[in-house]
Amino acid sequence: MSTSLEALPLELVASVIDFLAGPRRDPDELAPYATISAKWQQAIEQQTYASLDIKSLDLESFERFVSNSHAHRRAALRTIGFTVVLPAYSDAACACYEKDSDKQLNNEVFSEAIARLFKALEACEDVYKPGPITLRIHESYALSDLRHRGAEKYAADVRAYEVGGREDLWEHRYEHSYLRLLDFGDFPYLGRVNELSVCANGSRSVEPAVAVALATRLPNLATIFWRLNDCESKFTGLRTRLRYDFGQSLQTLDLQSAKSLHLQLLHVPPCDHDFVVADVRGSDAAPCDSLSASLRSFIQGSNLTKITLGGPICLDAGIFRKRQPFWPSVQFVCVDFSTIRPDGAWYFDRDASAPLESPSDESDVSSEPESSSGYDSSDSFFKVDVEVPDTYNERKEERLTATPPSPHRPAAYSTMTATDAGDNARAQGGQKPMLARQRANQEAEAQGKSQPKSGYFPLGYKEGLSQWWAGLSPAVTEHKVLSFIPYLRTPPTHTQTGSDPAGSKMSLDTSSAKEADPVRTTSNTDPYGPRQWNSKLVQLAGKDRFLNEFSVERLGEETENNLVMLHGYGAGLGFYYKNFEGLSRLPHWKLYALDMLGMGRSSRPPFRIHAKDKIGKIREAESWFVDALEQWRIEKGIDKMTLLGHSLGGYMAVCYALKYPGHLNKLILASPVGIPEDPYAVNEDLPEPGDSTMANEFAQSQNEAISGKRPGDQTSLNAGQKAAQNGKQPPRRPTPKWLTTLWDANISPFSVVRLAGPIGPRLVSGWTSRRFGSLPADEAQALHDYSYSLFRQKGSGEYALAYVLAPGAFARSPLIRRIQGVGRQYLEVHSQPEPDAEASSPSHKARETGVPIVMLYGDHDWMDIKGGYASKEKLEEEKEKALANATSREKQLENGSVKVVQIRNAGHHVYLDGSEQFNEEILDEMRDVEKRQKRLAAVK
């Protein structure tokens, strides 16, 4: 009999077992059938182990199961529910609020239990044919909590309480306590978990940021279901901090795999409309609630298609911005708002003429003596760790929160939740999402303007689909661009990174088979040769941190100087293809071009900011790039270099000079971003923001940059210059609405390209067709392909833009405040890219004696050249201060100078628009480095 049953297909056996299990699906009832045959045992085990519900007390058994059981049992796991059991406490402690020591112990137990669960689940990753897992974190509890004491003890405690023989706070003991993860940095990544449920809006709450921390370790998460608490009504500072931390953690969450978000952030508004609710935005001057803005940004940067926000949840208009939200993938939205806004105001005003209802027990309440509980609704933002009193007065509690009296004193309150049925009912009348172009057309029609022309994106849909389907990898497109370098027929291109078109992360293979052999050009084919061209990947310290490097060196000569080139925002080293050959002609120089970390074909580690304050975030974002550059310099064994940076690369070059002084022979800034102090000042000497903002990077064409003509102009002056000469206000340049929307939302424009799928190439063509319009057709096409292949890669370093720059390409920490420190820093590693004390300040520490700085701008550059002249003035003032107190020796070693150069017929991309003059200027500066070295050597 067993032989014939063994011959049945496994799928049929599973169907039979489903029938035998019935609706109860009790594993004990199926156990006898496991002895029929091995196949029946396997089928029963698949059903038995498919869903497990364990407590932290059972973790040891679960750890033995995942480590000792057969792989098919671990592979069968589909759903796991987990409950953390907290330490029990004494009867005497039931009458006291939790102390700091109690909270710390609970946090340690909670953190250890979650960490052990994740490490145990890691063993379920390496199995054959793994299926998705649903992870459900249930509400934590202690055995001494009200609902877990047991029926008999609970009844006895209630009787003792009613006759005055027992003091008990019941669930109020821990109502101001929030469990937190003490350290989740070592948590493993669980690729099988595609659904996360965190239920913590009952009597035992967790900090909302805990749910986000868990999600960061689940890279393939598709469905998110969070039930969290926002009910802290006594300690305003505590509630503000919890909301702020939740929002900040959402900002660092990058889950492109997520499709559905169901967030219930429970907030119970007061029953009395005249009750004054505290402001929890964190600052009275805050334009909008930080949590609302963070939640909006998270949704905008994700691929979510279904969103349900309930509780009811306390948010403000910041969740939708000023106009319609830009949520490109969302198909369904349902929001159940609380009647209270985060600023404490009501969404709807009560009719002042309506009579007020008096509570039935008003006389009893008014005559009640005040308790010593010490509650104060004026608790400030900074009083987060105020000790909660050990006494509780229920009547005063009701007055403070404007809640109705509790019908049963021991179970002092019940939890309110929103039902799914209610959410669905509200969703039926929701408005369907609209395409960006449809919204733009409707806005134009409403304003009586003509609808935007589709010519802004010249690439047709068919051609865009073809390019998207072809999926050219960054390695292929970079190779194509570099093939236009004169005298270099076949450029070297390693395939250790960027060999795949796109994916959840940049492809990385450090094997020697993916390396590229150097290419040498001889004097027979290269009039400036022989030269060696090399492409390689340079490993940095840390996990998955590599820089893509392209270098040119002259053969038969000793390298005495190094020129290092950094590209601008979102670009790659291939953009310098018109400069490599010309700048590598000088003897004894070696040229390096780098893809900045998280951009180009460098590795793309997660870009996360951990600082909480504004300046800390800016400095951390800056250090993310400059620390990588310093590690590269050390890895290459370079003592000093000439550093050239364009746009954002120029900004980071200045930050590098401030943080790592003593390693620059010269600093060259090509149209650097982030210098001006106050771009919105009303001054005739300053251009309108529309003439000097990042918007012009997309609006200005290369033809305009080279010729200086706007469409329809017959003169070499642009519209702004023309108006200024006539004494009129320079007109604002038109800014594309899609660009404004993206920037206002603080999301990367490249994420739109990634989310656009087949439309992505067409979107990119709107920029490349203007940026490279005057180039030969084959070069322009190669640069378009190169740009698109980079833009569609996993987001990483591109997310620094929102931390470093404000809308309009003006720095949040302008360089004009710091650039005077370049060349005047103490000769030591600095913790932050900030200037030291003034050069005139006395000090016994050695400091730099000046670094020559050159700033290049296009004569039609949207980056304001006045920032360069202002920087020159500050640098020269600092030099005068240094020389005023310098010794004769220091004066001899003085090497500081500043030069501002304008490249003819060039826009922001000066190295490309005016490549010939640009190369000549850089070669002159390289020769100047050699002259200065000889002079300083003679002095020393």
Encoding tokens for residue 876?
């020269």
Count the neighbouring beta carbons within 10 Å of the beta carbon of residue 121: 22
DSSP state of 383: -
Q: How far is CA 819 from CA 824, 845, 880, 900, in A?
A: 10, 20, 15, 14
If DSSP states are collapsed to H, E and C, what string results for 616-661? HHHHHHHHHHHHHHHHHHHHHCCCCEEEEEECHHHHHHHHHHHHCC
Q: Which candidate in 111, 908, 909, 915 is catalytic?
A: 908
Instruction: Please tell me the chain's helix, strand, coil percentages from 3-state DSSP, rounded to the nearest 5.
Output: 40, 15, 45
Q: What is the DSSP string of 405-429?
A: PPSSSSS--------HHHHHHHHTT
Distance of alpha carbon 895 from alpha carbon 642, whole angstroms: 14
> Do strands 133-137 and 193-199 pair parallel, antiparallel, or not at all (unpaired)?
parallel
Distance of alpha carbon 888 from alpha carbon 897, whole angstroms: 18
Element (H, E) at 853: strand 852-858
Distance of alpha carbon 543 from alpha carbon 603, whole angstroms: 10
Cis amide linkage into residue 312, ω under 30° from 0: yes
Distance of alpha carbon 807 from alpha carbon 693, whole angstroms: 8
Cis amide linkage into residue 410, ω under 30° from 0: no
Q: Is 95 exposed, middle or buried (0-12, 13-18, 19+ CB in 10 A)?
A: middle
By C-alpha distance, which of 199, 348, 182 is closest to 269?
A: 348
Q: Which candidate in 145, 859, 861, 913 is catalytic?
A: 861
Please report, for the chain, how many H helices and E strands are present, in that order.
32, 23
Distance of alpha carbon 29 from alpha carbon 768, whole angstroms: 67
Q: Which candidate in 111, 203, 647, 701 is catalytic?
A: 647
Distance of alpha carbon 787 from alpha carbon 768, whole angstroms: 8
Please, what is the Cα angle at 747 between 261 and 865, to 5 degrees? 175
Encoding tokens for residue 248?
């900040």
HSE-up of 412 (CA within 13 Å, CB side)? 17
Contacts of 245 (CB under 8 A, 6+ apart): 207, 208, 209
DSSP state of 596: P
Distance of alpha carbon 512 from alpha carbon 519, whole angstroms: 17
Distance of alpha carbon 611 from alpha carbon 625, whole angstroms: 16
Three-state secondary structure call for residue 670: strand
What is the Cα 226 distance to its own chain's centre? 21
Angle of helix 208-215 relative to helix 236-251, nearest 10 degrees?
20
Catalytic site includes residue 230:
no
Q: Is-contact 274 297, C-beta < 8 A?
A: no
Q: Is 863 exposed, middle or buried (0-12, 13-18, 19+ CB in 10 A)?
A: buried
Contacts of 646 (CB under 8 A, 6+ apart): 565, 566, 567, 568, 670, 671, 672, 909, 910, 911
By C-alpha distance, which of 183, 235, 271 is closest to 377?
A: 235
Q: Is-contact 846 897, C-beta < 8 A?
A: no
Catalytic site includes residue 861:
yes
φ, ψ for residue 82 (rounded to 5)? -135, 135
Catalytic site includes residue 685:
no
Positions marked catalytic: 647, 861, 908
